[in-house]
């Protein structure tokens, strides 16, 4: 479509029409291409966001259109508050309440995918600084509504954005959610447009199956794979480098807009030097190479050999000559059980939470078993106990059990417990970290607290 489009306006209208009719079947790369093109055309921002919002009202089931609309409203939602009129479109201003109601309809639909919820939450946190101040409380309510969604990724994003809406970040919030910087390709389009004085940038060549993109002068500029990489994550927060668990080197990460929220999370230590191999070769019992030849039978001639030949001292030696028979191995000492890691995750005047995680050597398939113990610090009963957990992206929730009881009885030795199983996909590189939200009632007063819990890196 890019190859034969007559103008940017035509390409915007055509893509929105396609997303309206078959948004669930449109590949992400075409949505990213349109976002890339609109970003390079500031004079099309108001038209594009108004056209998208009008199309969204009647087509909430088209996922591709919803994803595109969430991105557009997050980046250019301020234009919706103003009327727009030109030769092809006349749009009335939209109130902040109407904008948020459209997002609420999407989030309340139980069939809405995790991908759409991520885009919607990011759009909300961006709209929080673009809409009038009277809409701030409504944005906060919508973000909080996703904290109980069963997918941990949505819970985590909701808790991160809820933290950004705290009064502590009031002065820095606008900096955190500022517009996404233009890509290299978008900057090229803008410079070419400025140089030629054109009202709209011309087509930049095919993106679908074309091997390369062509700029204004017909020069081969950027490979399709580079464009795809630039728009791989359009959730506005600049992605951190993800690595396979076995990789130890961590690439230099880009700016993280949530740095203030998760400040202090540990980073990977220097790689440990490898243990040098023993010069005796076959003495290494963990060497799973070809099986060594069977040792010869001990004779009187070899009985007096130096004891250094037996590196692990598993066989008894004696200075007296021995008869010709095979030695008997001594019984191995039983292996001591490895202890787990225990940390205090939360404490106030009424209750303390201790987290205990099993040692990694006792885990199965990379799973770590974590038990949270709720210990009362007051003689009064604690009721309506509820703890919600959100994990960082590199930690996956396998199972989260409810607490054994919702009431913690005052000064009782048997504490309430809650168990979970998680997998750290970057074990050894990043620690297991979780954000908890604890709510309870004590003496008729409701309490709500959030705390970041981080386990030791090599635990």
Q: What is the pLDDT of residue 197?
A: 56
Kindly give the confidence (pLDDT) of every residue in the chain, 459 residues in length, as a single tens digit, with 9 standing for 90 and above: 666 667 888 889 999 999 999 878 888 888 888 888 898 888 999 999 999 999 998 888 899 999 999 999 999 999 999 999 998 899 999 999 999 999 999 999 999 999 999 999 999 999 999 999 999 999 999 999 998 888 888 999 999 999 888 888 888 888 888 887 776 766 666 666 565 555 544 333 333 333 333 333 333 344 444 444 444 434 343 344 444 344 444 454 444 444 544 554 444 444 544 444 444 444 444 444 454 455 555 444 444 444 444 444 444 444 444 444 444 444 444 444 446 788 998 999 899 999 999 877 555 567 889 999 999 988 888 999 999 999 888 898 888 888 988 898 887 766 799 999 999 988 888 899 999 999 999 988 999 999 999 998 887
Residue 407 belongs to what H/E stretch? none
Kindly state the DSSP code that residue 283 receives in the 8-state scheme. T
Interatomic CA distance for residues 298 and 304, integer angstroms: 10
Interatomic CA distance for residues 79 and 389, integer angstroms: 37
Note the maximum CA span of the chain.
109
Q: What is the pLDDT of residue 198?
A: 52
Kindly state the DSSP code that residue 42 receives in the 8-state scheme. G
Interatomic CA distance for residues 385 and 448, integer angstroms: 10
Q: Considering only CA atoms, which of 357, 372, 367 is closest in space to residue 459?
A: 357
The answer to pTM > 0.75 is no
Interatomic CA distance for residues 412 and 379, integer angstroms: 8
Check if the beta carbon of residue 94 is closer than 8 Å to that of residue 53: yes
Contacts of range 55-63, beta carbons closer than 8 Å, 24 or more positions apart: 55/16, 55/19, 55/20, 56/102, 57/102, 59/19, 59/20, 59/23, 60/102, 60/105, 60/106, 60/109, 61/24, 62/19, 62/20, 62/21, 62/22, 62/23, 62/24, 63/23, 63/24, 63/113, 63/115, 63/116
Q: Considering only CA atoms, which of 173, 83, 154 is closest in space to residue 389?
A: 154
Strands 90-91 and 84-85: antiparallel
Residue 105 belongs to what H/E stretch? helix 96-108
Q: What is the pLDDT of residue 361?
A: 59
The DSSP result for 129-151, as a single string, is TTS-GGGHHHHHHHHHTTTT-SS
Structure tokens at 229: 């990489």
Q: What is the pLDDT of residue 175?
A: 84
Which residue in this structure is represented by tokens 């108001």? Answer: 46
Check if the beta carbon of residue 390 is closer than 8 Å to that of residue 159: yes
Strands 416-424 and 367-376: antiparallel
Strands 351-357 and 445-454: unpaired
Task: Give percent helix, percent strand, percent coil of the chain, each to the nearest 5.
Answer: 35, 20, 50
Which residue in this structure is represented by tokens 């929080």? Answer: 128
The DSSP result for 416-436, as a single string, is EEEEEEEEETTTTTS--EEEE
Q: What is the pLDDT of residue 92?
A: 93
Structure tokens at 26: 């449109």
**Quick one: CA torsion of 216, 218, 220, 226, rounded to 10 degrees?**
30
């Amino acid at each position: 479509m890019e190859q034969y489009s007559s103008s940017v306006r035509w390409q915007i209208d055509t893509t929105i029409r396609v997303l309206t009719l078959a948004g669930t079947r449109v590949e992400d790369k075409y949505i990213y291409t349109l976002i890339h093109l609109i970003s390079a055309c500031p004079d099309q921002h108001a038209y594009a966001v108004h056209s998208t919002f009008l199309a969204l009202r009647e087509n909430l089931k088209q996922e591709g259109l919803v994803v595109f609309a969430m991105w557009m409203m997050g980046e250019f939602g301020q234009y919706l508050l103003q009327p727009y009129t030109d030769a092809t479109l006349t749009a009335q201003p939209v109130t902040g309440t109407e904008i948020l109601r459209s997002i609420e309809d999407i989030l309340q639909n139980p069939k809405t995918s995790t991908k759409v919820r991520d885009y919607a939450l990011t759009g909300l946190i961006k709209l929080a600084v673009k809409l009038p101040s009277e809409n701030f409380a409504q944005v906060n309510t919508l973000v909080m509504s996703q904290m109980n969604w069963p997918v941990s990724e949505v819970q985590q994003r909701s808790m991160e954005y809820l933290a950004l809406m705290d009064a502590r970040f009031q002065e820095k919030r606008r900096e955190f959610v500022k517009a996404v910087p233009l890509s290299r390709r978008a900057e090229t389009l803008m410079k070419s447009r400025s140089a030629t004085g054109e009202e709209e940038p011309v087509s930049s060549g095919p993106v679908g199956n074309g091997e390369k993109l062509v700029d204004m002068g017909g020069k081969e500029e950027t490979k399709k794979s580079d464009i795809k990489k630039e728009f791989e994550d359009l959730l506005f927060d600049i992605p951190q480098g993800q690595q396979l668990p076995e990789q130890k080197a961590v690439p230099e990460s880009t700016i993280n807009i949530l740095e203030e929220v998760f400040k202090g999370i540990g980073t990977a230590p220097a790689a440990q030097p490898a243990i040098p191999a023993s010069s005796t070769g076959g003495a290494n019992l963990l060497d799973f190479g070809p099986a060594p030849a069977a040792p010869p039978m001990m004779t009187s001639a070899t009985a007096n050999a130096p004891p250094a030949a037996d590196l692990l001292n598993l066989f008894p030696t004696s200075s007296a000559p021995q008869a010709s028979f095979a030695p008997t191995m001594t019984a191995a000492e039983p292996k001591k059980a490895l202890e787990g890691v225990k940390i205090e995750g939360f404490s106030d005047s009424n209750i303390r939470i201790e987290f205990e995680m099993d040692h990694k050597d006792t885990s199965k398939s990379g799973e770590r078993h974590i038990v949270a113990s709720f210990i009362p610090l007051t003689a009064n009963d604690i009721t309506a106990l509820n703890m919600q957990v959100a994990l960082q992206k590199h930690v996956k929730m396998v199972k989260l059990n409810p607490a054994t009881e919702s009431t913690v009885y005052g000064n009782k030795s048997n504490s309430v417990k809650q168990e979970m199983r998680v997998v750290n996909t970057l074990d050894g590189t990043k620690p297991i970290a979780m954000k908890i939200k604890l709510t309870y009632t004590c003496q008729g007063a409701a309490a709500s607290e959030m705390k970041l819990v981080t386990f030791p890196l090599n635990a």
